[in-house]
Structure formats: structure tokens, C-alpha cells
Amino acid sequence: MHMPTRRIFTALALAVALAAQADAPPAPVPSVEDGQVVVFKDVKWSPLKIPEGAPITPGIMVSRVAGDGQTGPSLAYAKYPPGYVFPAHTHSFAEYTVSISGTTHFTMNGKTYTLTSGSYVVIPPKTVHSVTCAAGAECVTLIRRAGATDYQWVK
């Protein structure tokens, strides 16, 4: 095969492979029970999709690790900008949260707890809670939900 022909063939093969990859369905997200390893520095962030009518201001970034929070249990990272306040709400299922970085103030049933890196909180179903990221640094948490993520906002 002549050098120009080989280059054209290689370019065409690469183009076909890339097109096939682009048309491929996204890889399935593992369930919360599947074995996996997540390297934090490789986490891909995207803005939180704010439910219609929710009293949430933009700014939270999320990275889904496992499960589909719309239909069942899920595990995800959440990143809050400094000073961000996530308003009071409840869920139908328990929530388990680990503070990865920053200083996060969790208020449950009127009592505030200050969480720093490595701290852990369990929020039982139907427990009123809110989250505030302290000023000075962003806050990152890892959140495991026992069922579908539903919000009942508290006024």
C-alpha cells in the first residue's frame, strides 16, 4: 500500500470508529451495590438539575457515582460554593452523608452540627434538614440515598 493510500485508509478507519463511538449509548451507571473504585481527582462535575419550583439557587455541582436517584437508591458527590445555603426539606428515605472537604453546617430538626472532612451524618426519613457551606472554601460531600430522591420543601 502506498503511503498516501495508507494515511487515507487510517484516517477513514479512525473517523468510522469515532462515529460509532459517538452513536453508542452511554455506559450504564452502576447500581449502589455494584463493585467499583472512584478516584476523586477524576470525578466529572455537572450543574445540579434544579427541579421546577424548587427554592434552590444555582451553584451546586454534582457527580453521580451510582444508581438513579429518580427511580431508586443513589450515590453522588455534591459540591457547594462557599456560603451556599440549601434550604430546609425532607425526604421519604434515609440519607447518609460524608463530608469530604470544607466546613458544612447540617441542621436537623432545628439543631445545627458542624461537619469537617471525614464527618458523617445519617438523616432519617422525613427529618427536616438544611445544609450550609461555610464561607471561605467550597464544600464537597458524598451522599447515599436509600430510595428515590424526593424533596418536600419546608417553608
Q: What is the pLDDT of residues 6-60, one digit of tens each?
A: 554 444 444 444 444 455 566 677 888 889 999 999 999 999 998 888 999 999 9
The C-alpha atoms of residue 97 and residue 77 are separated, in whole angstroms, by 9
Q: Which pLDDT score is estimated for 15?
A: 43
Strand pairing partners for 142? 77, 98
Cα distances from 95 to residues 18, 35, 107, 134, 144, in angstroms, run: 40, 20, 14, 21, 6
Residue 92: inside a domain, yes or no?
Answer: yes
Q: How far is CA 77 from the centre of its chain?
A: 4
Give the structural domain span for 135.
Answer: 40-153
Neighbours of 99 (CB within 10 A): 20
Task: Assess if residue 87 is contained within a domain.
Answer: yes
Q: Is the pLDDT of residue 64 over 90?
A: yes
In a domain, 22, yes or no: no
HSE of 59, CA atoms in CB hemisphere, 13 A: 15
pLDDT in tens, 131-155: 999 999 999 999 999 999 999 999 8
Query: Does 149 fall in a domain?
Result: yes
User: What is the reported pLDDT for 17?
Assistant: 46
Per-residue model confidence (pLDDT) at position 20: 45
Neighbours of 86 (CB within 10 A): 20
Report the pLDDT value the prediction gives residue 10, as an integer from 0 to 100. 43
Q: Look at 19 and 119; give whichever has higher pLDDT.
A: 119
pLDDT digits 0-9 by tens, 70-111: 899 999 999 999 999 999 999 999 999 999 999 999 999 999
Cβ atoms < 10 Å from Cβ of 52: 5
Handedness of CA 15, 16, 19, 24 (dihedral sign): negative
> Which pLDDT score is estimated for 82?
98
Structural domain tally of the chain? 1
Residue 122 lies in a domain: yes
The reply to whether 32 falls in a domain is no
CATH number of the CATH domain containing 93:
2.60.120.10
Query: For residue 72, is it within any domain?
Result: yes
In this structure, is residue 27 part of a structural domain? no
The predicted structure's pLDDT at residue 4? 56
State the pLDDT at residue 94.
97
